[in-house]
């Protein structure tokens, strides 16, 4: 019997980072397979999905030692070379193994399928695609007649003209990323729609990223209304699919396949959608580009915004980053001319931004019943809205009833036995709950330490604020929206619908309510206790606070008629602070300028590049020992030139679930210098882990967001 000619192929498999297998592995195949093909291969005793990876096989091992692939999944076309390149770049930049990242960003169900199952899925998909595009739209927005799209404002027209000019100039190279800067309601989404229309007309696919799952239905409705085959889209239906983690595994696979097969023209999704396989991709939009949710917080800690920029560059297609408060990274790149900044200067319809009023808490009279949150002037302002039948929004970024329970006799506090944090008092279900490890107990009826019956909540969360509002404003319909009130599926949608339909007078919530939602009847937004971020050890805290407050303010006066009397109140002990002064003028540019000057003189991003090495151990010594050894190693490396390794410090919540957490910052003047260090350092850290037995885990965060 003649031997079949066997060849080596390179396959990316999901070998975890810490297994030390970092690159694709060699397998044997009886025939050539196109790069990007999905295959099933053996690994150890398991059988896994793998991806035939572009590039030369390793060739190291004897052919006899290699194992054959088990099957090729031939029902779908291979992943494209540029998709593989995107994954390879991300793996290298964020220091993960290619296989781990490549498989992690595919829909989980795809990884489990054999050929028969895949065929069944494709058949189902075929039926789904044959059905008319689902009517997902809600009512059209004001100003848009169902028969067509709105006439562009002169500013929008100018932005689109400049976009065209940019594309013309780029021709065969990558156009510069566009930073679309404009306040809430300035018409950014309409610009996305027009740019998308342009790409669709050329037969290309469009990827739109949003920071939060909650915001996808709203945007999906708007895109569906325009492109989903209604009269407004001229009848030419385009398939729109969403990709985010709240989809069922089956929906996620279906939508992913629709994009991969080129059947879906528009993909709307959260950060994971940046890895969607889209063979005809022609435009990427990153809405609210400054939003921290674009950064993945575990595994490969990638920034979807940054990868979107990479992807657009690689595919030579435009990318639009939109925001009212751009990240200082993007703003600085626009200052340097590396991004093209395009401005939408005012609200559509000329609606004004709410007048910002700073209330100096130092001057508040201390009278009975007055708390630091609900001051007399604020209560008066709320009453006025109630009389007028308008809505108010109160923003407090702390959920629960009170952050801590306290005994005045013995000074006992409701700390968590497993974490260096307080357990939060939740009055609704009478629990003390740790927001870090989840440890929950019923509230004790007396002080667990001295038996005193009189233990009291200290401070205030949204739950308590809601209660106080109900006490102070009897008859007012108060609704709280935060992570606790929206735990179950459908709750958030129902609560938002109640706000929209006017069943709510006062909305109380955490930052959840400040994002994106188009509330039309709100004329008062109040931030009752935002000062904390001014003095945070995290250098990005002011940037985040400014964005949050601008965004919260943007919830008021979206209705032009109400805009004139809309107000945003900030209760603060530091009204003179530059951040609030800039907020008062709605002056992001002044704020950015002062922050960037501070960052530059302190040598912080975007003027420096950071990586954070985190270590977790049963003891502080174990975590610290590893980081110290890692630092010593880096110091001795010639590749560490131009990098600074700071001493290890405890994380802001040092102990969580009985694990001690330390971190060590690495700083470099250039991305290149940082990458060079990491590239040589990482293999050593894998080896070092084995010498530090008390170490539980370590992780590297490149371009960390929270420090």
Identify what 135 binds: ligand ADP, Zn ion, none; CB under 5 to 8 Å per kind.
none
| Minimum CB distance to ligand ADP smaller for 141 or for 429 | 141
| Minimum CB distance to Zn ion smaller for 253 or for 424 | 424
Identify what 439 binds: ligand ADP, Zn ion, none; CB under 5 to 8 Å per kind.
Zn ion
Asked if 533 and 580 touch (Cβ cutoff 8 Å), the reply is: no
Sole window of 167-175, 209-217, 436-444, 574-582 interacting with Zn ion (rule: CB under 5 A)? 436-444
CB of 287 to ligand ADP, least distance (A): 8
Q: Which of 122, 214, 138, 173 is nearest to 509 (CA)?
A: 214
For residues 383-412, which are near Zn ion according to CB under 5 A? 407, 409-410, 412
d(CA 500, CA 503): 8
| Minimum CB distance to ligand ADP smaller for 74 or for 144 | 144
Identify what 254 binds: Zn ion, ligand ADP, none; CB under 5 to 8 Å per kind.
none
Give one DSSP letter per residue of 405-423, joined into a string. EEETTT--B-B-TTSSSBP
Identify what 187 binds: ligand ADP, Zn ion, none; CB under 5 to 8 Å per kind.
ligand ADP
Q: Could you say which of 87, 183, 434, 525 contacts Zn ion (CB under 5 A)?
A: 434
| Minimum CB distance to Zn ion smaller for 406 or for 460 | 406
Q: Which of 36, 12, 38 is nearest to 91 (CA)?
A: 12
d(CA 212, CA 515): 9
d(CA 265, CA 260): 10
* CB atoms inside a 10 Å sphere around CB 675: 18
d(CA 551, CA 514): 6
Q: Could you say which of 447, 506, 528, 548 contacts Zn ion (CB under 5 A)?
A: 447
CB of 498 to Zn ion, least distance (A): 33
Handedness of CA 630, 635, 639, 642 (dihedral sign): positive
- DSSP tag of 352: P
CB of 482 to Zn ion, least distance (A): 19
Taking CB under 5 A as the rule, which mask of x and - marks residues 408-427 in contact with Zn ion?
A: -xx-x---x-xx--------
d(CA 244, CA 214): 10
Asked if 634 and 700 touch (Cβ cutoff 8 Å), the reply is: no
CB of 309 to ligand ADP, least distance (A): 20
d(CA 349, CA 552): 20
Identify what 436 binds: Zn ion, ligand ADP, none; CB under 5 to 8 Å per kind.
Zn ion
Identify what 437 binds: ligand ADP, Zn ion, none; CB under 5 to 8 Å per kind.
Zn ion
Asked if 664 and 623 touch (Cβ cutoff 8 Å), the reply is: no
| Minimum CB distance to Zn ion smaller for 158 or for 452 | 452
Contact residues toward ligand ADP (CB under 6 A) are 141-144, 150-153, 156, 182, 184-190, 348
Q: Which residues pair with 665 in a beta bridge?
A: 612
Q: Provide the CA 617 distance to its chain's centre, in angstroms.
A: 28
Number of residues binding to Zn ion, judged by CB under 5 A = 15
| Minimum CB distance to ligand ADP smaller for 208 or for 416 | 208
Task: Report residue 612: phi and psi, to 5°.
Answer: -120, 125
CB of 187 to ligand ADP, least distance (A): 4
d(CA 695, CA 693): 5
Does 634 contact Zn ion by CB under 5 A? no
CB of 348 to ligand ADP, least distance (A): 4
d(CA 160, CA 156): 6
Identify what 434 binds: Zn ion, ligand ADP, none; CB under 5 to 8 Å per kind.
Zn ion
Residues found near Zn ion in the complex (CB under 5 A): 407, 409-410, 412, 416, 418-419, 434, 436-437, 439, 447, 449-450, 452
């Amino acid at each position: 019997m003649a031997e079949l000619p066997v060849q080596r192929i390179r396959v990316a498999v999901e070998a975890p980072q810490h297994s030390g297998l970092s690159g694709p592995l060699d397998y044997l195949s009886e025939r050539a397979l196109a790069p990007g093909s999905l295959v099933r291969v053996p690994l150890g005793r398991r059988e896994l999905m793998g991806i035939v990876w572009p590039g030369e096989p390793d060739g190291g091992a004897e052919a006899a030692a290699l194992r054959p692939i088990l099957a090729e999944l031939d029902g779908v076309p291979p992943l494209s070379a540029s998709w593989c390149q995107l994954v390879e770049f991300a793996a290298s930049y964020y220091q993960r193994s290619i296989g781990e990242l490549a498989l992690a960003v595919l829909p989980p169900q795809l990884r489990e399928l054999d050929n028969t199952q895949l065929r069944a899925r494709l058949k189902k998909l075929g039926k789904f695609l044959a059905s008319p595009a689902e009517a997902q739209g809600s009512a059209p927005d004001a100003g848009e007649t169902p028969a067509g799209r709105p006439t562009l404002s002169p500013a929008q027209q100018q932005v689109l003209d400049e976009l065209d000019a940019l594309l013309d100039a780029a021709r065969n190279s990558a156009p510069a990323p566009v930073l679309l800067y404009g306040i809430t309601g300035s018409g950014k989404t309409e610009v996305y729609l027009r740019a998308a229309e342009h790409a669709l007309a050329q037969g290309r696919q469009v990827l739109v990223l949003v920071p939060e799952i909650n915001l996808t239905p709203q945007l999906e409705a708007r895109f569906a209304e325009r492109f989903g085959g209604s009269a407004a889209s001229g009848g030419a239906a385009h398939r729109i699919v969403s990709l985010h983690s709240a989809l069922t595994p089956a929906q996620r696979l279906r939508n992913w396949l629709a994009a991969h097969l080129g059947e879906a023209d528009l993909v709307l999704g959260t950060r994971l959608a940046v890895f969607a396989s889209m063979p005809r991709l022609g435009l990427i939009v990153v809405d609210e580009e400054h939003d921290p949710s674009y950064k993945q917080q575990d595994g490969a800690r990638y920034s979807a915004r940054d990868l979107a920029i990479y992807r657009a560059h690689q595919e030579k297609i435009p990318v639009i980053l939109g925001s009212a408060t751009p990240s200082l990274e993007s703003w600085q790149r626009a200052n340097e001319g590396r991004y093209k900044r395009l401005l939408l200067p005012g609200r559509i319809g000329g609606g004004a931004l709410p007048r910002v009023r700073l209330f100096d808490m130092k001057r508040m009279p201390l009278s009975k019943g007055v708390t630091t949150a609900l001051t007399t002037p604020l209560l008066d302002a709320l009453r006025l809205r109630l009389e007028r039948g308008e809505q108010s929004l109160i923003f407090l970024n702390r959920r629960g009833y009170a952050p801590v329970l306290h005994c005045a006799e013995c000074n006992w506090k409701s700390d968590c036995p497993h974490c260096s944090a307080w357990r939060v008092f939740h009055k609704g279900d009478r629990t003390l709950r740790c927001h870090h490890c989840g440890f929950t107990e019923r509230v004790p009826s007396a002080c667990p330490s001295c038996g005193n019956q009189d233990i009291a909540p200290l401070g205030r969360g949204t739950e308590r604020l809601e209660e106080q509002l109900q006490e102070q404003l009897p008859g007012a319909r108060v609704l709280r929206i935060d992570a606790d009130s929206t735990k179950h599926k459908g709750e958030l949608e129902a609560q938002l619908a109640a706000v929209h339909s006017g069943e709510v007078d006062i909305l109380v919530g955490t930052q959840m309510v400040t994002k994106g939602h188009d509330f039309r009847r709100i004329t008062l937004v109040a931030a009752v206790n935002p000062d904390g971020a001014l003095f945070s050890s995290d250098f990005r805290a002011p940037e985040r606070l400014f964005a949050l407050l601008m965004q919260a303010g943007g919830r008021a006066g979206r209705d032009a008629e109400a805009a004139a009397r809309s107000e945003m109140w900030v209760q603060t002990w530091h009204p003179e602070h530059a951040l609030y002064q800039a907020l008062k003028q709605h002056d992001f540019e002044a704020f950015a300028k002062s922050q960037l000057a501070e960052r530059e003189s302190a040598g912080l991003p975007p003027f420096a590049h950071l990586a954070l090495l985190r270590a977790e151990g049963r003891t502080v010594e174990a975590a610290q020992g590893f980081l110290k050894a890692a630092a010593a190693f880096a110091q001795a490396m010639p590749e560490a030139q131009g990098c600074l390794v700071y001493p290890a410090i405890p994380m802001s919540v040092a102990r969580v679930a009985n694990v001690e957490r330390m971190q060590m910052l690495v700083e470099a003047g250039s991305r290149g210098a940082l990458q060079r260090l990491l590239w040589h350092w990482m293999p050593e850290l894998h080896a070092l882990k084995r010498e530090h037995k008390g170490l539980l885990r370590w992780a590297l965060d490149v371009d960390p967001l929270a420090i």
